[in-house]
Amino acid sequence: EVQLVESGGGLVKPGESLRLSCAASGFILNNAWMSWVRQAPGRGLEWVGRIKSKTDGGTPDYAAPVKGRFTISRDDSQNTLFLQMNSLKTEDTAVYYCTTYTSGYSRDWGQGTLVIVSS
């Protein structure tokens, strides 16, 4: 059974940084493309970005609102996906979900981790 467990969320001030982790189990992370999706309180889903498997190049791509501030990376040896978030803004406040990614869709989702950016 696929399991994705996010961690690392919390309360930070505008301009600060935070790194989220996603521990994967039940499948071979090596072969998987992965993504991050976020949801601001009371709002809809917003795609953050995705990273290809290492065998497919391992390159990330990002949505415009986070490009240049967020970095997606992976450590397949640790079965872990990361989201490094720098220069955080209040509008980045959201629950962040880690997902498996295939052909433009997210099959498996974690339970999410809440990030609050507030002074």
Partner 1 sequence: QSALTQPPSASGSPGQSVTISCTGTSSDVGGYNYVSWYQQHPGKAPKLMISEVSKRPSGVPDRFSGSKSGNTASLTVSGLQAEDEADYYCSSYAGSNIVVFGGGTKLTVL
42 binds partner 1, rule: CB under 8 A: no
User: CA dihedral defined by 45, 48, 54, 58, rounded to 10 degrees?
Assistant: 150
105 binds partner 1, rule: CB under 8 A: yes
Quick one: which of 72, 82, 106, 115 contacts partner 1 (CB under 8 A)? 106
Decide if 101 contacts 35 (C-beta within 8 A).
yes
Window 51-90: contact mask with partner 1 (x via CB under 8 A): ----------x-xx--------------------------
Give me the least distance between CB of 32 and partner 1, in Å please. Answer: 15
Considering the complex, state which of residue 87 and residue 102 has its C-beta at the smaller distance from partner 1: 102
Q: What is the DSSP string of 8-56?
A: --EEE-TT--EEEEEEEESS-GGG-EEEEEEE-TTS-EEEEEEE--GGG
Dist CA 21 CA 11 (whole Å)? 16
Name which of residues 5 to 24 contact partner 1 (CB under 8 A). Answer: none
Q: By the criterion CB under 8 A, which residues form the site for partner 1? A: 35, 37, 44-47, 50, 61, 63-64, 97, 102-112
